[in-house]
Structure formats: structure tokens, C-alpha cells
Structure 1
Amino acid sequence: MKRNIKHVTVLGSGTMGSQIACHFANIGVKVLLLDISPKELNEEEKKKGLTLEDKEVRNRIVNGSLQRVSKMKPSPLYKKEYINRITTGNFDDDLEKIGESDWVIEAVVEKKDIKASLYEKVESHRKETTIVSTNTSGIPIHDLIEGRNESFKKHFLGTHFFNPPRYLELLEIIPSPGTDRDLVDFISEYGDKYLGKTTVVCHDTPAFIGNRIGTYCTMLTLELMQKMELSVEEVDVLTGKFVGRPKSATFRTADLVGLDILADVAGGIYNNCPQDEEREIFKLPDFIQTMLKNGWLGEKKGQGFYKKEKDKEGNTTILALNLEDMSYHEKDKPRFAIIDEVKKKDSTEDKLEAFESGSTSTVGTFKKMYLNVFGSDNDKAIAFFREFYYRLFAYCSHRIPEITGDLYKVDEAIKAGYNWEYGPFEIWDILGFDDTYKHMEKAGCLPSDWVHSMKMKGFNSFYKVEDGYRKYYDQEAGAYKIVPGSDEVISLDNYRDKHTVFSNDESNVLDIGDDILLVEFTSKSNSIGLGVMEGVNKAIDLAEDESTDYKGVVIGNEGENFSVGANLGMIAINAFKGKIDVVEKAVESFQEMSMRIRYSSIPVISAVHGRVLGGGAEIAMHSDAVQAAAESYIGLVEVGAGLIPGGGGTKEFAKRAADSFEESDPNTEHVQHRLMTIAQAKTGTSAHQAFDLGYLDTSRDGISMNKRRVVTDAKMRLLQLLDKGYAPPDKTKVKVLGRSALSFFYTAIVGMKYGHYITEYEEEIARKLAYVMTGGDVTGEMEVSEKYLLNLEKEAFMELVQNKKTLKRIESLLKKGKPLRN
């Protein structure tokens, strides 16, 4: 049957329930959020003379929960006004309203009897076609449908969102024995396309996939920590960004999640998985028991593995827990030789290979280089990595087919739920299937029989790319199968080997089919340097060349971020050395590239995600259209570096302001809005907010909920432009407001300085920005060319880049990653 989700009811307004409600509101769905009504009045209600029958009282719990969640940072909402899409109520008065809902999601306390009682009421009010799901992470799904009728069972399943639901991509789908298979397929597709999730169908086993493997990783880390006498800080160095995991690593993550949550999940696995060969690892160590007893549960209690203290001057110091005496000390910055060595490596694959070998060349060379300096630290780090990964690989292999029959689902769950760059089986492939297998056997970490069988058949990787598709080893079939959904979505990994038409150190140009080219940035942090500009120009050259069949260009990538902006390092080095001509040439080249993107004879679409800053935003804004992942954070942030946008961004905002003028009233408000956006380095906290800030345009730009689909969606947009008969935009003049508007802005800027909103140097930057956006030294309203504005922009940029205060700002960003306000 055809389904549409227009109305959703969420039962339970706790942290998860309210955030799930917010995420459905994000995508435009009407939401009813319900919770229990209070049993007694609070003091404030008594003073007001209210009774338990007053609506304000009866909805106090749900309204309070929603209000608290709406103030969370980062926000669960794309835009704060989306909260108006949520209506609140209580179980006693409003449960019958679920008859209007297409989907009812239960997120109440993790107690079977409470859920069962609620389901009985839901059953009497739901429509025949209403989906009912539970967000439980610990209660077996099949236990929750006891006593329900066949229609309820057919439409019931587990939908386990990870916290926070907006930001963590994993949605585990757990059918019961009676769940309609078509419903499972529908929820999987809906979660992918509309909620932006990586949807993984799991077996109904304790902790499902994500938490079963993720909790094992945490508990294994705790065991190795004690065994190898590692500190809290050392473990977080070894389990953080350096191995492709979140910077919160192990213990900062535990503090964020809550130690009580970790204890509950670990205890549930221990109690409910008697056949697990590593069951004993899920027992809580003594120091965790002590922390629980002390109430040191993490951030929500002010302390856990870390805590913050402020000195008399108000400066914050981070303290770390010493597990030997359970006292806190100022956080250390541990050093490991292997970590220092792999810092030189760019990719996670290279880092993991270094850990496997013990060095970038040989273990012997590594020890000769570092043993005398670092003592046993070097060996301790390598020993940790080897035992951790060998045991993890073995454990994951033994969970198949227990928790899932498909190994790719383990990797997808860990990547989407725990933000790992690669999943366990992918890491095994990176380290080399055969060699790692031998090392695991030698270490006594024996994988499951199906892995041995796979090896005996001559297969030497869990994944491979074949005929343009990513395939995984299916242990039941004993053969490779296409990863489901990968044939619908473009993955650049599938194109690089055979479809690269141009490459340099900072970019690739790939043929992604249908005569469309894609420019992929490969520079550090996808920063924009000469190599990126060369790649963009080369792709446009090829598409404009009548001797080729290419018709258009997509600019996009699959990095953590689309681009953090122009290569500040290159600018700083040349500016410090006095090579101003080199910087000026780079600015001119960037401007030329931006204008070429705008006026080329073929369509160019930018597919953006993550941080889209500075030059990244300038590339996007000059494209024919932008396809933005919902989680895109777009901003012209050059002021933080003591500069103004110099790759066409200042010109473009002046042009967009002019395009907003009403013919009879070209007032300063439109210019002021965009000037302040640049001057305050405002960055959208979502693609939705980027429209309000002027970075995206409702007349041409679109949003993809799932970032994995953004390149595919951008290509489809490009093909649609071609089908309609693409023609490049006409070059037009830009109306500027001249001296009167400039005087107005100068006065406002001075007022901001005297009000201590901006520094003296920020006043200087803002004045230059205003000068460019009002058209420079022109007497009044007039039309100028884009080239004229670009020259003003370049001149202001070059004046600023030679100022010592700008160079100090750039230096602070490069060394500390923090803006300096001087």
C-alpha cells in the first residue's frame, strides 16, 4: 500500500522523545507530543490558584520537557520556529488524537509493564493502518507485542534512534515475527530519504547491533586500560581522531552519554547474552562501580571521567580522573611515538597501517628511532592497538549471524551510531585480510568459522568494488553481493580507479556517468588552493570542449566537510615572506574561477555538506544551483582571519542585495542585512537557516536530508537543467547605493565600536567591507559591473592581508584553531 507520513505522535517527552519530535518537525511533519499528567500541583501552580484539572497543569510535564529541549545546544531544530509544528498534550486527555496519526512512536521509560499498558490504549485509538514503533534499546521487540491484536502486530516494530536524533545518523529497525515485511521496507526507505538516516535492519537481540558492538568496544577499552596501566587521557588519545573516531574518544563520550546509561546497557548484555564468548567483559570494573556510587555520572552531574573547574579569574581548567586513587588532576597531554609518527599521515587508512606495522617502515626501524626517547610508551601504544583490533575483529565475526546476517550492517551501525570513519570489517580490510588473520591466530583471537571458510575459498577481503558497485561478502551465500542501496547512490570510492579523467595533489575530476563530471577536493580539510582551482577549471574545460560528450559539472566530495575555505597556510606563508604578488595572483585566480563557474556555457552545481566556509561558500554561491545536505553549515567567515571574502563573496552579497531591491525603493536594509552577516561571520546552523542568511536561494537551491545522497541529488538536478535546455545567466549590472549609504554604515560601525561590540581593528575591517558593498567612491545610486566590484573586493583584501593584525589572526587560527580578536 502507498503510505504518506503527514502526522506523527510521539509518546513520552523525555530527552529522546522530545528530540525525536523535533526532528520530525524539522522535515515538516505535524507532531503530537504526549506525556503523563502530574499527580500533584507544584508551588508555582498553587500560588496561581490552579487545579489538577487546568490544562496548564495537565500539560506541565510535556511543555516543560519540550521547552528544555528547545534550548539545547546544539539545537535539535533546524530553525527555532519549527517548534511550532509540535502540539503538546497528555495521555489522559489527548490519547484519542492518535487516530489522526500515520505513525505513533513510543519513547517512554524502559519498563515492559508501562509500555504494555500504553500499547493497550494505543490499540483502541489507532487507525487500521497506523504504524506503531518503540524506541526501546533494551527490551526485546517480540516481548512487547504480547496480547496485542493481529493488526497491531503487523504494524509494530522497533525504531531505535540514536541520541541526539538530529545529529547521529543511525536508525536501527527491528521487526518482530509478525511485522509486515513491506512496512520494514517502507520505514527503511523513509528513514533514509526523509529523516536523513542510515537505516539498518537488525535481529531482535540484546542491544541490537550498534550498542552491542559499541558497548563491547568501550568495555574492552576499560579492560585493556587496566591491563596496560593507561591513564584516562592516554586512552582518549589512542581512541580519538587519530584512528578515525570522534574527538570525544572513549571517556569524553562516556561522560556525554552518562555512565549510568553505559552501565545499564552493559548489564543488559551481560544478563541476556549467556552464550556470548566475551560475556565477562561486560561486568563493570570496580572503578566504574565507585563512580556510580559517588554519582559521578558524567556531564549531567558535573563530573565523570572529566570535570571542569574555574579559577578566581574565571578561567576554566579541565581535570581528569586518576583511577588509582579516584582523585582528579589537571588534564595531561600524553605523547606516543606512534601517534607523533602518524600525525604526518593524511588518511585514516595510512594511520591504521602504521599501527599494524609498528612504524611507517618496519617495527625495527620504529624502535630504533623512538625507544630511547619514549621508553615503553611506544610498545604500549602498539600493543593496545593490536589487542584491541584483533579482539574486536574476532568479536564482530562471532556476532554474525547472531545480531545480523550481513557484515556490512555492523560497519554501517558503528559508523552511523558511533561516528567512526570506518567500521570493524572495513578496518580489517585496510590492515590486510590475510596478514591480519595470521596475526589474530597467533595472538589467540580466533575469528568465526565463516571467516575461515571464506579464507579457504580464496577470498581475501570483506568488500570489493566490481562493475562500479560496492559488494560485501555474504557468509551464507559464500559469495559477494551488492551492498543494498549502493546501486541507487553515487559513492566516489566506486569511481576513482577507472573513471578518473584528471588528478592533481588537491583534486580529482571523475566521470560519474551520464556525461557528467565531478570535481572532488582532496586537499587537507578540503581547503581551496591552486590545485583545487586547477581541478575546477579543468572540469569546465572538458565539459565545454565540443570534442567531448561531457555536458555539466558537479562540485562535491565525501569528506567530513565540503570545504573549510581558502588555504590560509599558503596565504600566511607568502604574506609573512612579503610575496604579496603571489597572494594577489591567488586572489585573482579564485575570482576568475568563481566567475567562470557562474558564466560557463555548461551547468555547474555544488553538492555541499558539513562545513561550507569562506571560499567553499563562494564556490557554492557562484554555482547554477546548490544541493545542500540538511546538515550544512554555510558561512563567509573571513573576518575571523582579519579579511573580507576575496573570492567573489563580497561582490556576490552586494549583487544579491541589489537583486532584492524593489524598483522604486532601493533602500539600505538589504545591504545592511548582508553586510552584517559577513561582518559578524554568521554561519548557518543548518541548510534551512542558510536560506535566511542569504547563502542559499529558494528560487534555485535544494536540500537533501541524507548527506550520502547529496551528490546523487545534485547530479539529478543538473540533468534536469539540461533537459529543460540550459542557458548560462546573462551578465548584468549591479545597483550600488554609493556615498550616502556608505556614510550611514560608517556611522553605525563607529557606534558599534564605542558600544564595545567590535574592536578597533574590526572597525577597520567593517569599513572596508562597507566600502566594497556600497560600490566604493561613487556619488549615489548607480549600476556597476561585477568586475568593478571584484576589483574593489581584491583591493580591500590585499590591504588587509598586509596588516600585521590580520597576520596575527591567521596565525592564531592555524596554530590554535581559534579566532583572535585584536
Structure 2
Amino acid sequence: MSRKINKVAVLGSGVMGSRIACHFANIGCEVLLLDIVPRELNEKEAKSGLTLEDKIVRNRIVNDSLKFALTSNPSPIYRKSFASRITTGNFDDDMSKIADCDWTIEVVIERLDIKKSVFEQVEKYRKPGTLITSNTSGIPIHLMTEGRSDDFKANFFGTHFFNPPRYLQLLEIIPTPHTSQEALDFMMDYGRRFLGKKTVLCKDTPAFIANRIGVYSIMSLFHTVQEMGLSVEAVDKLTGPVLGRPKSATFRTCDVVGLDTLVLVANGVRENCPDDEANDAFQLPEYITKMVENKWLGSKTKQGFYKKVKGENGKSEILSLDLNTLEYKAQEKVKFPTLEMAKPIDDLKQRIKMLFMGMDKAGEFYRKTSAGLFAYVSNRIPEISDDLYKIDDAMRAGFGWELGPFELWDTVGLEQGLKLIGDASKEVAQWVKDMQAKGITSFYKTEKGKRYYYDVTSGDYAIIPGTEDMVLLDVLREENTVWKNADSTIVHLGDGILNLEFHTKMNTIGGGVIEGINKAIDLAENEYKGLVISNTGQNFSAGANVGMIFMMAVEQDYDELDFAVRSFQNTMMRIRYSKVPVVVAPHNMALGGGCEMSMHADKVVAHAELYMGLVEFGVGLIPGGGGSKEFAQRLSQELKDGDIRINRLRQRFLTIGQAQVSTSAYEAFDLGYLREGTDEVVVSRDYQLARAKEACEALINKGYTPPKQERDITVLGSEGLGIVYVGANSMLSGNYISEHDSLISEKLGFVLCGGDLSEMTQVSPQYLLDLERKAFLELCKERKTLERLESLVKSGKILRN
């Protein structure tokens, strides 16, 4: 059967339903979003003389829910116009429309009787062979199919999206005994490729995989915290980014999710999994019980483990909860010798080894909590999953862990993990002992560019399913590295295509990265066929190394600074005019120099979650790596007569002047960072590099020739400068910007307009680059620019002076 998903029905428009609908709209599907009809008029409707039969009333619940979702922050939609792909309605009037849908998703209240009632209606109207799924997180999936037809059962399973669906990668797929293998295989692939999800096949067990392991980890930690006498802020310091976990760490995450939600899942596991050897871990500590009784549930009740208050000076202050007294107190400075020693280590796996060696309370905490986690996940196979990689996938995609439990265990070492388990008087699963007896010492291995996991069923390694057609840098790096320095690595992806990755802090761009780019182009031009620039960091690049710029500017080493900026510009131009195609694949943050690098590529294959922008204005500068030149060049292609060209100039100017950053790759097109018809967007991060490689090969196969160096970039000269200066002066007079902002504006306008030319003139890229570099250096000599640079370097904060 050939399946395609063009139209989707989402039944239930609450927090999850409306956001699931938005994500389907994001990927181009038509969406039918339905909810119940109100039982009574609200005050506004009554005053307007409406009745319960009016359509505006009957669709009020669904329309209000969708409106709330679309105005929420962060936005669930890639581009505002995509919301037009969603049509709303109600169960009573519009259920018949699901006959046109390829997939119907139920997202109603967590009550089995209501869900079964909805599915009874669905069966009346759905087209045979179409998919039906439930987004439940607590009700056994198989119970929902009672009384349904064979065709319904064959095409029904659970699809558990994590909230918010746009941003969290995990999609758990839960079949019933009746689900057809064909429908299941389709969904596993569709979720990966089209929805951009990490699709994880789960068994129909309480809390499935991610919540079962994640909530165990949190509940176990709740007990450990009391035993060790650790504070809330200390635990969040220990379980945040230093361990490869989100900034919200543990207690802050609980506040965001809601303590009531966490308790609901924990109680569900405790009641429904009596044979779980760690069942006692799901018993609520007394302080959690009291917090729930007090309705200290987190963000939704404005207090939980943390509470925001106004201090005596009127400034906001975040207090933390003392778990012994249940009183809020000022947060204490958290310091552990182990954390101080590990802090300088950028490589996560090396840092974790250091953390586990710590002889202070921090080291004890890591060993104690990990012992329980290692034992617990080993005993969940085969209960919740037959395969260990699924547990790691679920925790990385659902809870934001950089390393899943088994990957963490591999980092610590199998033998060391077993020792920790023994020291903690825990019991490991027999299959781990059997694996050890065979002389196998790791849960994963890489071989010939593929990643393998230990398959418990066969007792041997097997390739991770679904990765066969992915291009995995982490795997290829071991055997295919062609060249590297301290800041960058060049890897052969195969078929003559190289990849350059950089791995500085925040993937900032300094001398080592510039050297890597030039070396990669040299190699590609002489020995290979093409180049992709991508990396596996959390962000593509936070831009140029501001600390380096600040040091050279403070020391007034302007010749060195001029050389550095010129080298950056020349390197961007090498990307533009190299003899081989260069494809850039940015993801997450691509700011400043990361944005400029993308703008000079032959093609950009962007991940949908792309926060791209030229943000130099905020530190008192203008884009100096070709970004200002590039905007002038793109403006040249848009210039028309009269008001239109002035509006185009104003639009380009404000994009840089306001340091506008896209909230998605699609918005990067709207802001002019990406090019319609040339650049493209992929939703799947897992397949982004494979697509970038394909795009590079396609350019080669078409007979790639380098672009011709332009000599005819049209600039507006004094006509445009007049508009810039008047605008900056007006903003200054109205106290909307500072004097320094006005100066930066004038410098930026000078470059975009090609200088003080008497009329519209055609110039070369180099002419604009020279203007750009001159303005950049002049601004580096300004005291207020130095103050802004210093603020960012020392505190990470943008200073407005």
C-alpha cells in the first residue's frame, strides 16, 4: 500500500492538540482541527445576542484554543502564514469531514470512556485504510480498540508527541497486537523524515519509555537529595549543562512541566507496576506531598521549587525552596571542587569521566544517582523495550539528555558502572552479566562508518535500524578524518564530498576555523569534488570570536585586527567563488559570522529550527565578514524606481540595525538571510547532513562552474544616505536610540549605500568589503563599542549605552 499524508484531522484543540495541528501545518499538510461545542454562551456572546446555534459560538472553543496557541511564546508555527493551512470546526457539525483525511489523531481528555466515544464517531466517517492514532500518555493503547472494526484496529496505534511538539524531537509509537506492520513501518519512517522526529517504537507499558525512565530518574533523585542534604540550586547545578542536560536541569524542569503532572505519572507507575524492583522510588517524599497540598506546582501556580519575588529595591529575585523547612530563601552560591575541575573540559565525555572521579559531594552524587539509573534501565529490557538504543533515543529526544543512560554508562565504562551498582546494593539485569561474560565491554561500537548497538535478543551487535541511509559525522569521524586542527575537522563523507565541522566553544569562528575553511576548500579543489560545512554542536555557530576582537581592540592592535577582519572577508569570498560547490547546513543558532558563512554559500540546506541573524549591532559594530556587503548586493537585485527602492533599503537596513533573528528557517527567508529558489529547509535534523551531501552532489552533476565575480552591484549613494541619516536623527531625537546607536546606524548606512556617491552607481564586491572593513575598524576604536564588547565577554549580556 502506498501511503501519503496530505490532510490530517486533529480531534481536540487543547494545549497539545492545537500545537500538534500547528506542526502539521508547518510541514505543509492541510489540517482539520475539531473540538466540542460549548454547552452555554459566554458573557460576550450573550450580550451580542448570539445563540448556541450560531457557528461562531459552536466553534468558539476550537478557535480560542488555536488563537491562544498561535500567540504563545515560543511560537508553535514556523511562519505566521502557515496557520492558513488549518481549518477549524466542531465534533457535531464537522466530524464527517475526516473522510477526506489521511490520518486522524485523537487528543481529547485522558478518559477512556470519552476516547472510546470519539473513536465510535471516527469509525462512522473515516475512509478505510487511513491511520487513526491516540496521543494518550497514560491510558493503555489496546483498551481503546474494543468494539472497533478489523480495519480500524489494523490502522490504529499510539503516537505520543512530547510537548511542545514543534520543539521536542521525541515521538513515541505504540502499537497494539492488531496494528499492521505496514502501518507501523510507514509511521516510523514518516515521523523521522517528514515530522523531523526521533521516532521510538515502544511497548504498551505504563508511561511508555521516556516518561518511565525520566520520571524514575527524577523521583529517585528526590529521595537522594534528602539523603545527601543537597539544596535545590545545588542539584540543578549538578544536573544541568555540565552533565549534558538542559539548562532547566531537574527542579526547574519540574516547575515548568508542573509538579502535578509529574506526580500523576509517578503515581501511575507505582500503582500499575507493582513488580518494578524500584517501585519504592516512585513513592512521594513528604516534601513533595506537602507541595502538592499547598498547590506549589511550579510555573502554573507561580511557585514551586523556585519562586519569583520583588526585593526591597524593587528588583525581581528568584528564591529557592528549602526542602527541610519548606520555606523560600535566597539562593546560595553553589561551588564544588569537582565542578571547578571539570568546567574547562569542553568534550562532554571527558568531562563526565572527571565528574565521576570527584572525591567531594558532587562526585558522590554522580556515582550514587548513576548506579540506580544504570541498574534501572538494564532491568527495563525487555519489559518496556527489547532494544537498549530505543531507551537512549527516547531520553535524548524527550528529555534533552545529550547522552542516553546506556551511552552514559559506556562513557563511565561497563566495569565501573557495574562496580557502582554493586556498591549501591542494586541488582543489574542478567543480560548485562551475560554480555560481560562474553568479553563485550560496551553497549555501542562504530565500524566502517556505521553505528552498532548490543542486541540483547541475539547476544551480538546489530546496526541501529533507520540509520542505514543517514550520514553520521560522529561515526565517520573515527575513520574518515582527512585533516584537523584544534578548532576544526575535515571528514570525507564519501563520493568525493568533504565536510568541515568546527568545535570551538559555542562554535565561534576564530583563526583555527578560518584555517579549517581554507584548508577544506584547498583539499576539495585539488583532491575531492565538493564541500559541506556542518557540525553536530548544539548550535551551528554563535558568530565571530568576540573575545578575540575585544582583546585586539583594547590593546589598540589595529593592524592585527585589520588583518583578522580581512582574512574573514577573504575566506567568505573563497566560499562564494571556490572552484567546487560549497553547501552550508546550519541549525539552531547561526549568528553573525555563522550567518555570513551561510549567505556566501552556493546553497544552504537549513534545519527548520534555525535562529539566524546579523547581530553585530548589539555589540556596537556592523557585520564585518561580508554580511553588510552581502545585504548591499542583495538590495541591488531588488532596486526599482522611487519609493520602492527606498522601502527596500529601509527594510534591509532595519534587519541589521535591529539585529533581527529569525525564529525559524522560513522566517530567515522573510528577513533576507536565505534565498528563495536557491536555499531549502529540512525538518529532520537526522537527515540534514545526508540532504546537504545530496545537494552538493547535484550541483556537481549539473556541471558546476563557479559564479562570475560581479562588477555591477548598484548602490544608492547620497540618495540612500539622506534617508539613513534623517531616520537615525529622528530616532535619536525621540530618545528611541542612543548617540552611539546613531553613529553605528550611519556607518551601516554608509556601507549599504556604497558611500557618499552623488548618484546611483555600480560598484564591485571588493569596493563594498573595503567600506565594510573600514567602518568595522572605526567602530572598534569607539569607547562605547569597547564597553559593549566587554559586557558581552565578561557577563554574556548586551549593553545598551
* 2:348 paired with 1:348: yes
Matched, 1:681 2:659: yes
Would you say the 8 A contact 1:238–1:381 is kept in 2?
Answer: yes
Question: For residue 757 of structure 2, what is the aligned residue in structure 1?
Answer: 778
Task: Identify which of 553, 578, 581 aligns with 2:531.
Answer: 553
> Shift of residue 666 of structure 1?
7.4
In the alignment, is residue 417 of structure 1 matched against residue 398 of structure 2?
yes
1:667 deviates by 1.8
Alignment partners' CA distance in 2, 1:489 and 1:796: 44
2: CA distance between counterparts of 1:750 and 1:665? 20
Equivalent position amino acid for 1:333 in 2: K
Structure 2 CA distance for aligned equivalents of residues 314 and 67 of structure 1: 34
1:809 is aligned, of 788, 791, 799, to 788
SS of the residue corresponding to residue 338 of structure 2 reads helix
The 5 A counterparts of 1:396-795 are: 396-545=377-526, 548=527, 550-662=528-640, 667-732=645-710, 733-795=712-774
User: Quick check: 1:249 aligned with 2:230?
Assistant: no
Per-residue deviation, 1:741: 1.2
Label 1:663 to 1:46 Cα distance change in 2 as closer, same or farther (>3 A).
closer
Read off the aligned partner of 2:566 and give its amino acid letter: E
Native 8 Å contact 2:581 2:699 kept in 1: yes
Measure the CA separation in 2 of the matches of 1:242 and 1:730: 47
Deviation at 1:446, TM superposition (A): 2.6
How far is 1:321 from its partner?
1.2
CA contact 2:448–2:479 (8 Å) conserved in 1: no
- The one-letter code matched in structure 2 to 1:271 is E
Tell me how far 1:336 sits from its aligned partner: 1.3
State the partner residue of 2:62.
Answer: 62
Supply the distance in 2 between the matched residues of 1:288 and 1:435 (Cα, whole angstroms). Answer: 33
Give RMSD over aligned pairs.
1.2
Letter in 1 for 2:17: G
Indicate conservation of the 8 Å contact 1:658/1:670, yes or no: no
5+ residue gaps, structure 2, are none
What CA distance in whole angstroms lies between the structure 2 residues aligned with 1:581 and 1:287? Answer: 62
Q: 1:591 touches 1:648 (CA, 8 Å); kept in 2?
A: yes
How far is the alpha carbon of 1:47 from its aligned partner? 0.7
Q: What's the counterpart of residue 136 of structure 1?
A: 136
The answer on 1:382 being equivalent to 2:363 is yes
Counterpart of 1:368? none
Give CA-to-partner distance per residue, 1:772-819, whole Å, 9 cap, x none. Answer: 000012111010010000000000000111212111111111222221
Question: Judging changes above 3 Å, is the alpha-carbon distance between structure 1 residues 211 and 664 closer, same or farther for their aligned structure 2 residues?
Answer: same
Q: Which secondary structure state, in structure 2, belongs to the residue aligned with residue 213 of structure 1?
A: helix
* Deviation of the 1:310 alpha carbon: 2.7
Separation in 2 of the partners of 1:351 and 1:599? Answer: 40
Partners of 2:694 and 2:54 in 1: how far apart?
A: 53
Cα distance in 2 for partners of 1:218, 1:604 equals 45
Deviations 1:274-302 (Å, cap 9, x if unpaired)? 11000111111111111111111111111
- Residue 311 of structure 1 deviates from its aligned partner by 4.2
Deviations 1:402-429 (A, max 9, x none): 1110100000000000001110100111
- Partner residue, 2:306: 306
Residue matched to 2:124: 124
- TM-score for both structures, normalised by structure 2: 0.99
> The residue matched to 1:320 in structure 2 has which SS?
strand
| Distance in 1 between residues matched to 2:416 and 2:295, nearest whole Å | 45
Q: What are the superposed Cα offsets for residues 371-398 of structure 1, whole Å, 9 maximum, x if unpaired?
A: xxxxxxxx22111110101110110000
**Structure 2 partner of 1:20:** 20
Read off the aligned partner of 1:8 and give its amino acid letter: V
Does 1:151 pair with 2:162? no
- Asked if 2 retains the 8 angstrom alpha-carbon contact of 1:735 and 1:784, the reply is yes
- CA–CA distance in 2 between the matches of 1:413 and 1:185? 18
CA distance in 2, matches of 1:571, 1:211: 45
Partner of 2:11: 11
Whether the 8 Å CA contact 1:495–1:510 is kept in 2: the answer is yes
Structure 1, 807-816 or 105-114: larger mean CA deviation:
807-816
Q: Structure 1: how far apart are the matches of 2:424 and 2:230? A: 21
How much has 1:312 moved relative to structure 2? 6.7
Tell me the percent identity.
Answer: 52
Q: Once structures 1 and 2 are overlaid, which stretch shifts more, 312-321 or 625-634?
A: 312-321
Distance across 2 between alignment mates of 1:663 and 1:73: 39
1:271 to 2:252 alignment: no
Report the secondary structure of 1:267's partner residue: helix
For residue 3 of structure 1, give the secondary structure of its aligned residue in structure 2: coil
The match for 1:374 is: none
Secondary structure in 1 matching 2:178 = coil
Q: Does 1:164 align with 2:145?
A: no
SS in 2 for 1:667: helix
SS of structure 1 residue aligned to 2:304: coil
- Whether the 8 Å CA contact 1:658–1:666 is kept in 2: the answer is no
Native 8 Å contact 2:621 2:779 kept in 1: yes
Q: Which amino acid aligns with 2:284?
A: L
Task: Give me the whole-angstrom Cα distance separating, in 1, the residues matched to 2:367 and 2:608.
Answer: 38
* Residue in structure 1 matched with residue 332 of structure 2 by the alignment: 332
What CA distance in whole angstroms lies between the structure 1 residues aligned with 2:121 and 2:16? 22
CA distance in 2, matches of 1:813, 1:723: 45
- Distance (Å, rounded) in 2 between the aligned partners of 1:24 and 1:309: 39
User: For residue 376 of structure 1, what is the aligned residue in structure 2?
Assistant: none
CA distance in 2, matches of 1:757, 1:275: 65
Q: Which runs of 5+ in 1 are unaligned?
A: 364-378
- SS of 1:164's partner is coil
The alpha carbon displacement at 1:121 in A equals 0.8
SS of the residue aligned with 1:104?
A: strand
* 1:485 Cα deviation from its structure 2 partner: 1.8
TM-superposed CA distance for 1:745, in Å, is 1.2
Indicate conservation of the 8 Å contact 1:236/1:248, yes or no. yes
The alignment partner of 1:31 has SS state of: strand
Cα shift readout 1:102-158 (whole Å, capped 9, x = no counterpart): 111011111111101111111111000221000001111111111111011001000
3-state SS of 2:462 partner: strand
- What secondary structure is seen at the aligned counterpart in 2 of 1:465? strand
Q: Is the 8 A contact 2:393 2:404 kept in 1?
A: yes
Range 203-212 or range 319-328, more displaced:
319-328
Amino acid aligned to 2:734: G
Secondary structure of 2:687's counterpart equals helix
> Partners in 2 of 1:380 and 1:130 — Cα distance?
55
SS in 1 for 2:630: helix
Give distance in 2, aligned partners of 1:87 and 1:497: 49
Give the Cα separation in 1 of the matches to 2:374 and 2:333. 29
Shift of 1:440: 2.3
Q: In structure 2, what is the Cα distance between the partners aligned to 1:208 and 1:135?
A: 12
Q: Please tell me whether the aligned partners of residues 130 and 155 of structure 1 are also in contact (alpha carbons under 8 angstroms).
A: yes
Question: Counterparts of 1:215 and 1:17 in 2: how far apart (Å)?
Answer: 23
Aligned partners of 2:636 and 2:713 also within 8 Å: yes
